[in-house]
Amino acid sequence: MYEFRMPSLGADMEAGTLAEWLKKPGDAVARGDIVAVVETEKGAIEIEIFAAGVLNQWLVQEGATVPVGMPLALIATDKEEAATSITAPAPAPEPAVAAVAAVQTGPPPVAQAPLTPIARSAQARVKASPAARAYAREHGIDLAAITPGKPGGAILRADAVRGAAAGPAPARKTKPGLDFDKMRHAIAAAMARSKREIPHYYLSTQINLRCATEWLAGTNRSRKPEKRLLMNVLLLKAVAQAVKAYPRFNGFYLKDGFMQAQGVHIGPAIAIRGGGLIAPAIHDCDQKSLDEIMIALRDLVARVRAGSLRSSEMSDPAITVTALGERGVDGVFGVIFPPQVAIVGFGAPHLAPVAHADGGLAVEPVMLASLAADHRVTDGHLGARFLSEIAALLQEPEKL
């Protein structure tokens, strides 16, 4: 039996509140299916499963706050299903088997009692499923004015629909799905840990963007707005390709030291209006075309702002890219998001005098790129080669 557990959605997460089950006992689940919604300091996250089979039993009820790693449900995996169906006709079950069966068909154990030490007050904010939030947003409903169907439970879509029918409520301008105080707390915890534990070193270089700018303008000229690319997409792809050549910047520093990530999952830092940021993963960035990265980025930005991210997007990024340039600053030197080991920063593209090797001088678009990396894993020498590789890749945008 596979145990579906409360995942870690970031180094700073200790516990999460199970807001909503999206699969019930008896439902078939496939790898990558969204099984539950968990409320965290970074909003409501859709939790994916990485096993296939049939959901056998819930171990935790909606509304319970449980620590990272605690089993939430039992899944009969496909292999076990097959085995069960073969052995099922066998007669005369032994008492031990019957006992197990009785346990498994009984009501889900109430997990609250042993958890009280860490069960925090979740009443400070409105608990609601992403579907309920989306409905409330569309219809201008104040979720705080709605009573959940189950006392103490999260507001589900049906509750929001019922609330809407009961009468209009004044629309609120607050961000659905996010609690800014909690997010600030999460950022503070992660960044304080980073500065406490990670010996950062910093490098920067000015990248000539003439080729990239011209290529982008030429590409976008013949495209409808919805097909156009942003410079950030080129930057993400360049980092992805550079990371493949320099894999020691792509991974996690854990208690046994550096562990290289399996794929190239880059976390672009996405600001949230009103404060805070999240850097969820664009998976397999190295294998995606620029158009595919653009689609993924657009989708990610929309879901960050709607507060509906998936668990793998929270846990998988192995390097962060922050492009604060569009906010008008020349450069940004990032703080590594633990347990990652590097963050690449891009400043504002701007025009500057550039001296060429032949002694000539020209005004060209340039950008300051920076690398903050973990000295426990790499040195400035390797960091310099990594950053130079990013600069070199941006000189040939047509190959990205």
Partner 1 sequence: MTRDEILARVFAELESVAPGCAPGNADPGVDLHDELDIDSMDFLNFVIALHTSLNVEIPESDYPKLATLDGAVAYLLQKVNG
Q: Which residues bind partner 1 (CB under 8 A)?
A: 137, 173, 175, 217, 220-221, 224-226, 228, 230-232, 271, 273-274, 297-298, 301, 305, 326-328
Residue 238 to residues 211, 231, 233, 347, 362, Cα–Cα distance (Å): 13, 11, 9, 15, 25
Q: How far apart are CA 38 and CA 309, in angstroms?
A: 10
The residue (of 134 and 198) whose beta carbon lies closer to partner 1 is 134
Task: List the one residue out of 112, 38, 104, 55 whose CA is nearest residue 308.
Answer: 38
The residue (of 108 and 140) whose beta carbon lies closer to partner 1 is 140
Q: How far apart are CA 124 and CA 122, in angstroms?
A: 5
The three-class DSSP label of residue 224 is coil
User: Exposed, middle or buried, 198 (CB in 10 Å: 0-12/13-18/19+)?
Assistant: buried
Find the shortest distance in angstroms from Cβ 175 to partner 1.
Answer: 7
Find the shortest distance in angstroms from Cβ 391 to partner 1.
Answer: 21
Find the shortest distance in angstroms from Cβ 298 to partner 1.
Answer: 7
Find the shortest distance in angstroms from Cβ 295 to partner 1.
Answer: 12
Going by DSSP bridges, is the β-strand pair 71-77/53-58 parallel, antiparallel, or unpaired?
Answer: antiparallel
The residue (of 155 and 300) whose beta carbon lies closer to partner 1 is 300
The residue (of 231 and 387) whose beta carbon lies closer to partner 1 is 231
The residue (of 137 and 283) whose beta carbon lies closer to partner 1 is 137
The residue (of 85 and 222) whose beta carbon lies closer to partner 1 is 222
Asked if 216 and 397 touch (Cβ cutoff 8 Å), the reply is: yes
Strand-pairing partners, residue 252, are 259, 340
Q: How far apart are CA 332 and CA 337, in angstroms?
A: 15
The residue (of 152 and 274) whose beta carbon lies closer to partner 1 is 274
Find the shortest distance in angstroms from Cβ 326 to partner 1.
Answer: 5
DSSP summary character for residue 249: G
